Amino acid sequence: MNIPDYITSVLNILYSHGFEGYLVGGCVRDALMGKTAHDFDLTTDATPEEMLEVFKDHRIIETGLKHGTVTVVSGGENVEITTYRIDGAYLDNRRPSDVTFTRNLREDLSRRDFTVNALAYSTQSGLVDCFDGLSDLKAGVIRCVGNPDTRFGEDGLRIMRALRFSAVLGFDIDHSTAKSIISNKLLLRNISSERIFAELKKLVCGQKAASVISEYSEVFFSLFESVAHNKEMFCKNATTLSLVPNDHCARLAALLWGFDDSSVTSFMHSLKSDNHTHNTVRTLCSYYPQKLSYDKYFIRRLMSEIDDELIRALADINSVHHADFDRRMFLEQYSAQKALNPCVKLSQLAVTGSDIISFGVPKGPKVGEIMQKILYAVIDDECANTFDDIKKYCMIIYNS
């Protein structure tokens, strides 16, 4: 396993004080799959107090102390180390009411969601695999650690996580875990929108997103009323995901393609989406049902509303839905326009808001409205992007 020095040095410090130290979860799973791990979670039998003592020469951030997490700064990087934990009773299908620490690694691994996420690796003693995670990893299977009904009952988010890992890793979901996902789907309603959205964003970008969403569409319909009224369209859209770039805005737009603006808005709203994602998805979806035009003015308007990579995504979505749309020709025209660097943004206009005011337009919303009209006129070649021409044009539209 390829472990960076700043992690090895933290583990060695734990070992030298007689403690255990393991890499655990996603980084072990990913490394065994031959992928480069992006973050390293460490777990140890040392209590938080013992860690503070062991790492007293390091900078320490004490943010998660209550839950057993200490962040040690090693080689300029933050390293999270969590004491082996046993979760207390889950009273609300969300979080344990309390956590207790243990010196037994197996107990910590048994609280983890899936067997492939319950693998631990020590540079001293090698791999620990208490729940046959390695054979599930080799077979490409997502399986709950322990009884699926119990595990989903503890934390409903795990339903979404199972779908996410299946989509992203390209794994199948074990039969009894799959059955339990369907029968426990309503538990997701107890989970905060932010946590669901974080998983959904990763899920839609997964290599197997299309088949996971199609196969588990019931889960989505019970969670999102806004799309449940047209199940057929949602499921058909799901099959198009792999044809769209791996970007969560593009994929969500592909999934919601053809739904009206109020359904798209309420879908994004129910997920408490950040404004950027919400607006981008809405803008992309607003191009339904028209076929993208190859006309330069249409393309420039598009450039004024949508960022580069999403224009390509929109072209991909279009080619899925319009058999006669020539994606290559469209992208050629688009590249030709881009090369000309036309004025497509307010910030590229030869005038500013203060100039508009100096032309006699009173301060306030009117200034913005006029600037937008000027921009469209410049885009449409009805007005040149020069101070004098814009001034003339501004006077005409302001006085008309």
Q: Which residues bind ligand ATP (CB under 6 A)?
A: 25-26, 41, 112-113, 117-118, 155, 157-158, 161
Pick the stretch among 19-27, 77-85, 87-95, 307-315 that binds Mg ion (CB under 5 A): 19-27
Q: Tell me the closest approach of the beta carbon of residue 25 to ligand ATP, in angstroms.
A: 3
Q: Which of 21, 26, 68, 156 binds Mg ion (CB under 5 A)?
A: 26
Question: Residue number with the shortest CB distance to ligand ATP?
Answer: 26
Q: Tell me the closest approach of the beta carbon of residue 33 to ligand ATP, in angstroms.
A: 11
333 binding partner (options ligand ATP, Mg ion, none; Cβ < 5 to 8 Å by kind): none
Please say which residue, 165 or 234, places its beta carbon nearer to ligand ATP. 165
Please say which residue, 35 or 345, places its beta carbon nearer to ligand ATP. 35
Is residue 198 left, alpha or beta, with left meaning phi > 0 and alpha meaning psi from -120 to 50?
Answer: alpha
Please say which residue, 28 or 128, places its beta carbon nearer to Mg ion. 28
112 binding partner (options ligand ATP, Mg ion, none; Cβ < 5 to 8 Å by kind): ligand ATP
Residues 373-392, interacting with Mg ion (CB under 5 A): none
Cα 100 to Cα 269: distance, rounded to the nearest angstrom: 37
Please say which residue, 30 or 247, places its beta carbon nearer to Mg ion. 30
155 binding partner (options ligand ATP, Mg ion, none; Cβ < 5 to 8 Å by kind): ligand ATP
Q: Tell me the closest approach of the beta carbon of residue 301 to ligand ATP, in angstroms.
A: 38
Peptide bond into 48 cis (omega under 30): no
Asked if 133 interacts with Mg ion (CB under 5 A), we say no
Strands 172-173 and 141-142: parallel
Q: Tell me the closest approach of the beta carbon of residue 39 to Mg ion, in angstroms.
A: 5
Question: Residue number with the shortest CB distance to Mg ion?
Answer: 26
48 binding partner (options ligand ATP, Mg ion, none; Cβ < 5 to 8 Å by kind): none
Please say which residue, 155 or 215, places its beta carbon nearer to ligand ATP. 155
Q: In the structure encoding, which two tokens stand for residue 353, read together?
A: 């808001």
Q: In the structure encoding, which two tokens stand for residue 350, read together?
A: 């030869």
Q: Tell me the closest approach of the beta carbon of residue 290 to ligand ATP, in angstroms.
A: 37
Please say which residue, 93 or 319, places its beta carbon nearer to ligand ATP. 93
Q: Which residues contact 34 (CB under 8 A, 6 or more apart)?
A: none
31 binding partner (options ligand ATP, Mg ion, none; Cβ < 5 to 8 Å by kind): none
- Residues that bind Mg ion in the complex, under the rule CB under 5 A: 26
